[in-house]
Structure 1
Amino acid sequence: MEEQMNRKNVFITGSSGGIGTAAIEKLVAQGYRVFAGVRNPEKIKRLSEKLAPAVIPVKIDVTDSASVASAVHDVNEVVKEEGLTGLINNAGYILQGPLELLSIEEIKEQFEVNVFGQIRAVQAFLPMIRKAEGRIINIGAVTGKTAMPYIGALSASKQVVEALTDALRIELKPWRIQVVLIEPAAMETSIFDKAKSASDAALQSVPQDKKALYEKVLSLVDASMANQVLNAPGIVADSIYHALSVEHPHTRYAVGRGARLAVTLGRLPDRLRDQILIRALGLHKYFASER
């Protein structure tokens, strides 16, 4: 009975992506039972079968309150009085493109997944987290510290996640629930390919004269991004495990090559930061020619 009560249960949203998969493998190896939240359980069927019974797929769409409530019910039926050792808010996606060209509906969807999805999960799973004095791990991004042009909607959503995490860290202190933010740099996952495909599809509906305004700068940004160093998602999984397992976790983890630099840039005077970003993205020559 004591072994059962000390079991470590965690719930991860966005389990089918690169970070989610790496986190599942890491936590199972460390003795956790993982409830893998995913919109389509078929996407992690092979992984869940390989790691059974330590991985339990749970269908969840964080943009749908009824789906979140159903997932809570499914998890609660299994953990009962054990509660949750951790909730890992990992679901998210990248919306890219100049803010002028993005529709309001697309921007709303970015916030619906990256922001409101995290809030829904926190509110719904908190009773189980209280039972185990568990922890909440929010996956943000370094763009939450340094907003990047042409992914302004994403940057804005991640800055909101920073604020929510800071507020929750104090609000949940009476129940000894620690709230941690992980800020990854660019990771070697399929999320960028999906973002590019989604952006190309969305911009098809934009009038050609508007798209033409940004064609040159976007080609320069694409070339710059193609040369960026991508990090293995396993380093995020290591930070997630550290945040769950140590007695006093950091409040923030800047993870991956370039992460600390991005955080530092966020502390610089605005115009200096702008100039550094413009040069890093290869835009300085173009901007100079337009004067």
Structure 2
Amino acid sequence: MMLFDVAIGLLILYFVWKIILLYLRTLEIKQVCDRYVFITGCDTGFGYLLARSLDAKGVNVIAGCLTEKGSRNLKKEASSRIKTVQLDVTDKKSVERAFELTKQYVGDKGLWGLVNNAGIMLNFCPAEWTPLKDYETESKVNLFGTIDMSLTFLPLLRMSRGRRELLGSGVTTHTIEPGGFNTNIANESKFLKILKTAYVRSDTERQNFYGGKISSYIFFVIKWYGVFINTKPQKVVDVMAHALLAKHSKNSYAVGLDATLFFGFLSWFPEWLVDRLLGWPAPDGHLCSELQNIANKKN
């Protein structure tokens, strides 16, 4: 009976702590008007929306835009407080110029947050249909661009707050893990274009190997992805803002039903079972109808 009482007591304490934690998550920092946040990839998508959202809250936003057009569009929709910087995260000199401009903007206040949002997606097809240069291009933006921005801007973050290895100085890191959201980087038409282009530039042997049941399966996934993809990217932006402005923010945020439920649910199963559930069908050497139309046009 005593063990049962202890278990009930621990369960009650757990739920009380959860309620307290939910309340603590609602608390935001005050005086955001003296906070500076740098965001990469602000031409479109999450970065564009986040820049506008933080600007509306009174945060001093420094938006890194790849193009002048992106910079102009953002300035039209934001307040006069927002600053834009033309930035290519794959270009070291561009990153350094952005850093020098940011130093001028923030002065001795430092940088409250750096949002490494810039990213591209070139691959949505069998690996053997994807040339090495595509992997290199993605890595330059998504991986090395993030690393370069983080290393370059760390001195400004240390002046304010920052990352886990600098925990003693108040530096923290937060990861956003969105599921499928309809943006320029991920949408049905783009996935279809990637798959069809990859097929055309592949050699005959690889076309035949992956062009049947495997490609039919991928087309099916794209179709249903387009049906269930989340059309409200503001949800991702809201958790980005929470990570930046909450007094007790989370270390990581999974956003979207597919990220929180589907993939979260699959994580409970052994890997061999997940592989069986999500794995591609066996190749059959016959082109699926979607690719057969492309082959007929070529001939």
TM-score, structure 2 length as denominator?
0.76
* Residue 198 (structure 1) shift: 4.7
**Map of 1:1-291 to 2, 5 A cutoff?**
7-96=34-123, 97-133=125-161, 135=162, 169=164, 171-192=165-186, 193-194=189-190, 196-198=192-194, 200-216=196-212, 217-228=214-225, 229-231=228-230, 232-260=232-260, 261-278=262-279, 283=280, 286-287=281-282
Cα distance change of structure 1 residues 76 and 246 upon mapping to structure 2, 3 Å threshold = same
For the residues of structure 1 that align with 2:59 and 2:156, how far apart are their CA atoms?
16
Q: RMSD between aligned alpha carbons? A: 2.4
* Residue 238 (structure 1) shift: 0.5
Which amino acid in 2 is paired with 1:213? F
* Residue 41 (structure 1) shift: 2.6
Which amino acid in 2 is paired with 1:208? T
For the residues of structure 2 that align with 1:248 and 1:129, how far apart are their CA atoms?
18
Cα distance change of structure 1 residues 131 and 81 upon mapping to structure 2, 3 Å threshold = same
For the residues of structure 1 that align with 2:85 and 2:211, how far apart are their CA atoms?
42
1:220-267 CA distances to partner (integer Å, 9 max, x unpaired)? Answer: 212222222222110011001111111221111000121112134245
Show structure 2 runs of 5+ residues with no match. Answer: 1-29, 286-299
Which amino acid in 2 is paired with 1:204? V
Cα distance change of structure 1 residues 262 and 4 upon mapping to structure 2, 3 Å threshold = closer
SS in 1 for 2:174: strand
SS in 2 for 1:58: strand
Show structure 1 runs of 5+ residues with no match. Answer: 136-167
1:163-208 CA distances to partner (integer Å, 9 max, x unpaired)? Answer: xxxxx52x12122111000000001112124454355445433213
SS in 1 for 2:61: strand
8 Å Cα contact 1:235-1:255 kept in structure 2: yes
Cα distance change of structure 1 residues 73 and 200 upon mapping to structure 2, 3 Å threshold = farther
Partner of 2:14: none
Cα distance change of structure 1 residues 184 and 70 upon mapping to structure 2, 3 Å threshold = same
For the residues of structure 1 that align with 2:191 and 2:283, how far apart are their CA atoms?
29
Structure 1 or 2, whichever has the larger Rg, is 2
8 Å Cα contact 1:93-1:195 kept in structure 2: no
Cα distance change of structure 1 residues 109 and 128 upon mapping to structure 2, 3 Å threshold = same
SS in 2 for 1:190: coil
Aligned residues: 248
Partner of 2:7: none
For the residues of structure 1 that align with 2:96 and 2:264, how far apart are their CA atoms?
35
Which amino acid in 2 is paired with 1:181? T
* Residue 4 (structure 1) shift: 9.7
Q: Using the aligned pairs only, state the percent identity.
A: 30
For the residues of structure 2 that align with 1:115 and 1:90, how far apart are their CA atoms?
11
TM-score, structure 1 length as denominator?
0.78
Which amino acid in 2 is paired with 1:236? V
8 Å Cα contact 1:94-1:195 kept in structure 2: no
